[in-house]
A and B are shown apart, each in its own frame.
Chain A
Amino acid sequence: QVQLVESGGGVVQPGRSLRLSCAASGFTFSINAMHWVRQAPGKGLEWVAIISHDGSNKYYADSVKGRFTISRDNSKNTVYLQMNSLRVEDTAVYYCARVTSGWYNWFDSWGQGTLVTVSS
């Protein structure tokens, strides 16, 4: 079955960097676009970024544009989120999610999330 496992979260000081990973299994990873979605403590879901199946197209939320970079390695079935210049307001659980097919369709599988805490 489809499985997404995030890792790389932790406590980091403002201004520092962190790289999240999302390891996928149970499906042909190279044919699906992938998203990162975050959820601040006690808050709702916020879309962060998307990457196309082959990595050629990437889009970001304004709140992270210029600071975060999404990438993927289809040979390793993994999608990444490089987070630079972290801010306190980036504190959240970060989820990776698979697009069922195409580009605008639903996120049919989600990881369990990894917590990022930005604090001095």
Chain B
Amino acid sequence: QSVLTQPPSVSGAPGQRVTISCTGSSSNIGAGYDVHWYQQLPGTAPKFLISGYSNRPSGVPDRFSGSKSGTSASLAISGLQAEDEADYYCQSYDSSLSVWVFGGGTKLTVL
């Protein structure tokens, strides 16, 4: 059971907007630690996607955005494209456990 909770799956049609939630607690997201998001395409290593609201590496389109409120964070993907079909993971730090933590991952299916 992950310290950060994500829905196992989400789906959307091309062009639509989807959000992926990441629920933590007062010792991680709620303590002010940033939430980072990673994309893992099938059969490949994870890739850093976004941190916070809009800290994206070059090459990541602004269709990807983040948000945070209280003990939760979300990744939003607008204008869904077939190439967005992947697993997405949130990640933060937990001060109570003194460990870096990942969410369980969310599989995005583009219908």
Contact = CB atoms under 8 A, between A and B. Distances in A.
A46 interface: yes
B46 A50 contact: no
Interface string A13-50: 00000000000000000000001010000001111001
A115 to B, nearest CB: 12
B64 interface: no
Interface stretch (A70-78, A81-89, A106-114): A106-114
Interface string B27-67: 00000011010101000011110010000010000000000
Contact of A106 (B36, B40, B101, B105): B36
Nearest to B2: A44
B104 interface: yes
Nearest to A95: B45
Contacts of B2: 44
Contacts of B36: 105-107
A46 B97 CA distance: 14
A110 B45 contact: yes
Given A44-B89, A44-B105, A107 B99 contact: no
A44 B98 CA distance: 20
Contacts of B105: 44-45
A50 B103 CA distance: 18
A45 B89 contact: yes
B46 A59 contact: no
Interface of B: 2, 33-34, 36, 38, 40, 45-48, 51, 57, 87, 89, 91, 93, 97-105
Q: Which 10 A-B pairs have the closest CB atoms?
A: A106-B36, A44-B105, A47-B100, A45-B102, A110-B45, A106-B51, A104-B93, A44-B104, A108-B48, A45-B89
